[in-house]
Chain A
Amino acid sequence: GDSVTQMEGPVTLSEEAFLTINCTYTATGYPSLFWYVQYPGEGLQLLLKATKADDKGSNKGFEATYRKETTSFHLEKGSVQVSDSAVYFCALGDAGNNRKLIWGLGTSLAVNP
């Protein structure tokens, strides 16, 4: 079945460092891909998404490109801030149907000043 694999954490970075969190997937068909973020004490929030191959999702300085050839959707940010400390989840859903998202394990990011 469909699945998502993301790099294990925790990831600890200094402020202004470059961030990459790897995410790869297996799926039949053409899924939509998502990154969700969970800040401490809060719910899961959609960070960005891409619905087809070569799409780039971006938000709050974060980017991820839907790479069908490598079945990847890596999350990147050029310069992280302390406020980016959170848990990041990669997820996939059937195109046009987000009812049943399939999730990665989550990667905890801690950014130190």
Chain B
Amino acid sequence: EPEVTQTPSHQVTQMGQEVILRCVPISNHLYFYWYRQILGQKVEFLVSFYNNEISEKSEIFDDQFSVERPDGSNFTLKIRSTKLEDSAMYFCASSTGPAGELFFGEGSRLTVL
């Protein structure tokens, strides 16, 4: 069964460092998403991406964040200069269309020290 894969599963970084989280969406999906869950809080939408551009983003997704689809398979989330409050589980998802079911990866846990 096709699945969304995310790497790394866990990353520990120092405050101020750049982090790139990687995702391989399901191959025939066209819409890609990042969500995050800070420990003890709700899952929050960060950004959606379609046709090589951001289609929607939340207020959380400020200039420190960027997304990219550098090739035909990867979808990345970059945090330019990490802050302590960026510590969270980051989930990548993909779907065939805007109303289609979202398929999620297992998540990448980011710990900022």
Q: Are A99 and B106 in contact (CB under 8 A)?
A: no
Q: Are B55 and A99 in contact (CB under 8 A)?
A: yes
* A46-B42 contact in complex given A98-B95, A99-B33, C-beta closer than 8 Å: no
Sort chain A's interface into a size bin.
20 to 34
Q: Are A43 and B107 in contact (CB under 8 A)?
A: yes
Mark interface residues in A67-109 (1 if CB within 8 Å of B CB, else 0): 0000000000000000000000101000011111111111000
Shortest Cβ gap from A44 to chain B (Å):
4
* Residue B58 lies at the interface, judged by CB distance under 8 Å to chain A: yes
Mark interface residues in B43-64 (1 if CB within 8 Å of A CB, else 0): 1110010000001101000000
Residue of A nearest to B107 (CB): A43
* A98-B100 contact in complex given A43-B91, A44-B91, A105-B41, C-beta closer than 8 Å: yes
When the two chains form the complex, which single residue of B6, B45, B106 contacts A101, counting CB atoms closer than 8 Å? B45
User: How many residues on the B side are at the interface (Cβ–Cβ under 8 A)?
Assistant: 28
Shortest Cβ gap from A4 to chain B (Å):
8
* A44-B98 contact in complex given A99-B31, A101-B45, C-beta closer than 8 Å: no
Beyond A43-B91, A43-B104, A100-B56, 20 additional pairs, beta carbon < 8 A: A43-B106, A43-B107, A44-B43, A44-B93, A44-B102, A46-B101, A91-B43, A97-B99, A98-B95, A98-B98, A98-B102, A99-B45, A99-B55, A99-B98, A101-B35, A101-B102, A102-B45, A103-B42, A105-B41, A106-B42
16 A-B pairs whose Cβ atoms sit less than 8 Å apart in the complex: A41-B106, A42-B106, A43-B106, A43-B107, A46-B103, A49-B101, A96-B98, A97-B99, A98-B98, A98-B100, A99-B31, A99-B45, A100-B45, A100-B56, A103-B44, A105-B42
Residues of chain A having any CB pair with chain B under 8 Å = 4, 36, 41-46, 49, 89, 91, 96-106
